Structure 1
Amino acid sequence: MKASTPRRRLLWPILASLTVTCALASPAAGSSDRTTPRLSTAQRAAATQLAADQHLSAQEAQRRVLRQDRLTDVATALRTSLASRFGGAWIDQEHGGRLTVAVTRPAAAASVRQQAARAQAPDTTTVVVRRSWQQLNRMSDTLARRIAAANKSAPHGLQSAVVVQDNKLRLDLPRGKALTGAQRSVVRWAQHTFGDALTVSSYAHASKPFYCGGQYSCDPPLRSGLAIYGSNVRCTSAFMAYDSYGYYMMTAGHCAEDSSYWQVPTYSYGYQGVGSVADYTFGYYGDSAVVRIDDSDWWQPRGWVYPSTRITGWGYDYVGQYVCKQGSTTGYTCGQITETDATVSYPDRTLAGMTWSTACDAAGDSGSGVYDGSTAHGILSGGPDSGCGMIHEPVSRALSDRGVTLLAG
């Protein structure tokens, strides 16, 4: 069985957006490049959302979605080749969906141009910044640890994210809520330590995990994706994975925390046992779980997001990129990645290294596979307690932490 690898190896708010289901029009035409494949169902959903968000024609939105993989491949390759000269990258939807690459030295722009030319992305641009992506991540990790400690005794949590477009960190305070003494100390420490590398802002809506307690309390259930039922819990299955011991379904760690054995609905409206939780994390280091499949003959293991999306590999997240999820409550929804390396405050939990996007989701969607075309990006964890927005665990970390390999179809 062929192991999945990241595309060309390498890393890794909230806008009210339209909910797009899988009941879409017939396949749209691709770009003028004859070798470009036609859009998949998920890509059509992403293009529909992109067109609505950016007020674009359907043709232009499809063109941008089709070339996302090429642009993110360039960014991922540059992350390694530029090393400390790499300041981050994002897809700039305000300027034609072009790739923008931040570099810490002007001379590095030549490498960016060469990579972009090979990927047929001549509109790629560069900006010179002070701080490398490595520095931003170290700063973010240091801040996240202090936030996590301060949030433990607080009714309303601090949050943060790397704002790659500004080459800064952003520290978010709960709007209209009083901070504890420990939280005020973190804010003062961050302002003193990071200086002009930090922006202090606020957020309006608290974040929460989106598993469905009570199994049947989510409305409407089973629109899309594979629902999995545990002890008084309903979530969604993300991707398939494997190791030397067998095959697994991936889902959210907070779902596994509330249930150890899982079932799936059958065509006869009964339920069939799937298996038990083999490993999970729900906390500072992420939100992922693997459920070992009892009967691999029943599942017929393959690299798919159940039931129809073929997954061939995994990739890292970039701001401006459009991703979709297939959940058992809200079906297909898509949105733009707005933040990476985010620290998120849940009730009684703080998670670091997460990704925010504008996709809509709801209770029961937790554990959904988040992907772009045939590329896996993450496992849905939660969202705000009001309006649209999606938080996902990057699949790169989930695979590494769970010690499994993504099953590529």
Structure 2
Amino acid sequence: MDRRVHKLAAATLSASVVIALTTTSSATASDDVDVAELATPEMLAAAERDLDLSRQEAIEVFASDLQAMHTQERLEKTLDESEVGAWIDDGELVVAVSDRRAAADVRRAGATPRLVEHSTDELSDVVSTLDDAEAPDASEVYSWYVDVPANTVVVEAAEGAHDAATEWLAETGVDADLVEVETTETVPEPFYDVVGGTAYDVPGSGCSVGFAVQPRGFVTAGHCGNVGTPTTGYNGASQGVFERSVFPGSDGAYVSVNQNWSVTSQVSRWNGTYAQVNGSDVAPIGATTCRSGRTSGYRCGQIEAYNQTVNYSQGPVRGLTRTSACARPGDSGGSFIAAGINAQGVTSGGSGFCGSGGRPQTYFQPVNPMLNAWNLTLVTQ
């Protein structure tokens, strides 16, 4: 294996890429397992793409990482508290120990020992103290962790916030000699999924996601917001903004989402499972269709009529599809699917709400006209 592949091995191990494999090494197979046979095409393709490897180099990286993992597991059973962490450096497993007597065990196992000053317990106690302390300003202090190769605790802070981070550390009472403050331009933010049928809010109201689309965003009902209206997600996090919106006349809209949101092909069934959208073929009259929304969850009925004009108080909306699925306020904009995989449209309005005892009628704005008019692409499985 060349030197470049050895260096990349550390990245794959830290990212836990090797979850589907069992055991072997780049030079010597262990337990007669062939990594080339066990590595899925998807795993190898991802390694080739993201780590700039050939197929053979990807196999060798996985093999090297697996050997390191098994060596580390064996050493953890024998070194006890003397081991303070392990990492891959230039293709070799390095094990930090705070006890000189453990170095021989590390060498016998085929790894490289490195004597360090601070034990795992010391460094972990610092992190625990920071975890238990009053959280610092998130715009100043981003994170803290044990840097195993450096044998220290690192606190990551915003540029210009080094002093603020130092002051916070002093308030926590941790040993300053065990901590390094590093500044970074990268601000960590959580990621969320755009899932059909789930809630989103606009100022003063709330609706449901229709279907995820590219460019990154989702389609929903036009009456949910005007162009420029901001949205927040089901979790209260800033989500996106209405880029397109038509109502009345039609009842469709496109919301672009920010970088914290990932688009998916999923539509929630509100029971812990998800339908996977695989297209947008139009179902015939009489076909079963199911809708998903924040208020009444996942409800099904039949398609009863196409191209219906509904004269809402705000003005007539043309081209809607009538169904016998029930809905309630807040479900607006949510997903209608047919045959379990085909996107049909987004909820517009209706009558005979779920639980009201009346005959339900719910209308949806067909999805294909929105996709075509705004040059959007449905996210599919």
Q: TM-score, normalised by structure 1?
A: 0.41
Q: TM-score, normalised by structure 2?
A: 0.44
Return the index of the structure with the highest Cα Rg: 2
